[in-house]
């Protein structure tokens, strides 16, 4: 009798759980962004959130929770209920760089989270202050840096940021040294770059494009494997003598471990459908970003490849967390 009761309870639980999943979502979904508003992460998340909300029939609320190189937000979402109502914007930093940068990371990107989908890639653009540095391509930049060890000052949004890692990566690949100047965000770094207190940066393209068009900044190379449609005249690092080189800022959705697969699939499908809309694609293209949605498994495989790449860069360059 006891076994029959337990079996009946199990059936009822399965039915109730299935019904709950079928009704998902029946309240707003929180999309946590681990960085400050105004940057590429904010643009990508809000572009997708609006369309995903329309498709799912529920509001997707974007909440910015910056700090700790993204670790604070990741830790919070790690401890959230795995019910699909709290998800996070994953990033090359939080998912591929931080595991190599921090000796005691408060989360495990593989064990504590489930990939939903890759959302978009933002090309990293290597530029120089056009007035201060007269180099016109990567070969000339490398030659300058080798002739003047340490004289090339480049800025980034902070220690361990994607801009820091991108320049460290190209310096390792091309065999030159440069002096890293970390800032508390892209904004103050751009102020000094435009004023000539820095020679270069290798960061996400969006905040650079207007200054490239104005001629204040000179584009040297784009980090993506292929030329960016937004900058078709700017050659890649790979085609300038370093085959296989690739770096970009990428973003995707993650959920706490234990989130039911049915919910993961529903979120992924909504994101993929959103990425195909003109609303999202036009907004991203205006920022030189490209929609890059995927299946959960494809995103998981992508993260593994990126983690290996950036672990190697961090170790060889000796970059350490603050």
Q: What is the dotted CATH code of the domain comprising 123-240?
A: 3.40.190.10
Q: Each residue of 265-293: pLDDT tens digit?
A: 999 999 999 999 999 999 998 888 888 99
Burial of residue 240, with CB atoms counted within 10 A of its CB: 0-12 exposed, 13-18 middle, 19 or more buried: middle
Q: Which helix (H) or strand (E) holds 151?
A: none
Arithmetic mean of pLDDT over the chain: 91
The domain spans of the chain are 29-122+248-317, 123-240
DSSP string of 210-259, one letter each residue: HHHHHTSEEEEEE-SSS--TTSTTSPBTGGGT-TT---EEEEEEEEETT-
CB atoms within 10 A of CB 226: 11
Percentage of the chain exceeding pLDDT 90:
74
pLDDT at 1: 55
Query: In which region does residue 160 sit, left (phi positive, over 0), alpha (psi from -120 to 50) or beta (all else)?
Result: left
Cα 280 to chain centroid distance, Å, stands at 17
pLDDT digits (tens, 9 = 90+) for 114-157: 999 999 999 999 999 999 999 999 999 999 999 999 899 999 98
Q: What is the pLDDT of residue 150?
A: 87
Higher pLDDT, 48 or 35: 48
pLDDT of residue 320: 80
Are β-strands 29-33 and 179-182 bridged in parallel, bridged antiparallel, or unpaired?
Answer: unpaired
Whole-prediction pTM? 0.83
Q: Any idea which of 84-93, 106-115, 138-147, 223-232 has the lowest mean pLDDT? A: 223-232
Confidence category of residue 3, pLDDT binned at 50, 70, 90: low
- The reported pLDDT for the residue numbered 5 is 55
Across the range 6-31, mean pLDDT stands at 65
38 phi-psi bin (left φ>0, alpha ψ -120 to 50, beta other): left
pLDDT, position 17:
46
Q: Residues 6 or more apart from 297 whose CB is under 8 A from it? A: 115
**CATH architecture entry for 29-122+248-317:** 3-Layer(aba) Sandwich (3.40)
pLDDT for position 190:
94
Asked, colleague to colleague, whether 29-122+248-317 and 123-240 share their fold, the answer is yes
């Amino acid at each position: 009798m006891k076994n029959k009761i337990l079996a009946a309870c199990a059936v009822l639980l399965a039915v109730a759980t299935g019904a709950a999943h079928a009704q998902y979502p029946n309240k707003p979904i929180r999309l946590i962004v681990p960085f400050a508003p105004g940057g590429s992460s904010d643009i990508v998340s809000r572009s997708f959130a609006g369309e995903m909300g329309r498709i799912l029939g529920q509001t997707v609320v974007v909440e910015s929770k910056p700090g700790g190189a993204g670790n604070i937000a990741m830790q919070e979402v790690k401890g959230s209920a795995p019910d699909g109502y709290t998800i996070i914007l994953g990033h090359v930093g939080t998912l591929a760089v931080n595991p190599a940068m921090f000796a005691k990371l408060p989360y495990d990107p593989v064990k504590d989270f489930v990939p939903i989908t890759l959302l978009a890639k933002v090309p990293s653009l290597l530029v120089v202050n056009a007035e201060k540095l007269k180099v016109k391509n990567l070969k000339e930049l490398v030659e300058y840096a080798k002739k003047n060890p340490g004289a090339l000052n480049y800025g980034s949004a902070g220690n361990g940021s994607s801009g820091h890692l991108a320049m460290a990566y190209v310096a390792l690949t091309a065999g030159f040294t440069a002096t890293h100047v970390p800032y508390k965000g892209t904004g103050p770094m751009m102020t000094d770059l435009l004023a000539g207190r820095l020679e270069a940066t290798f960061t996400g393209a969006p905040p650079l494009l207007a200054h490239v068009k104005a001629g204040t900044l000179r584009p040297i190379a784009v980090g993506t494997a292929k030329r960016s449609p937004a900058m078709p005249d700017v050659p890649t690092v790979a085609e300038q003598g370093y085959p296989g080189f690739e770096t970009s800022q990428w973003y995707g959705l993650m959920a706490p471990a234990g989130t039911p697969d049915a919910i993961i699939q529903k979120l992924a499908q909504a994101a993929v459908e959103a990425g195909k809309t003109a609303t999202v694609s036009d907004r991203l293209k205006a920022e030189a970003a490209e929609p890059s949605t995927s299946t959960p498994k494809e995103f998981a495989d992508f993260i593994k490849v990126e983690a290996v790449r950036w672990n190697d860069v961090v170790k060889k360059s000796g970059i350490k967390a603050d």
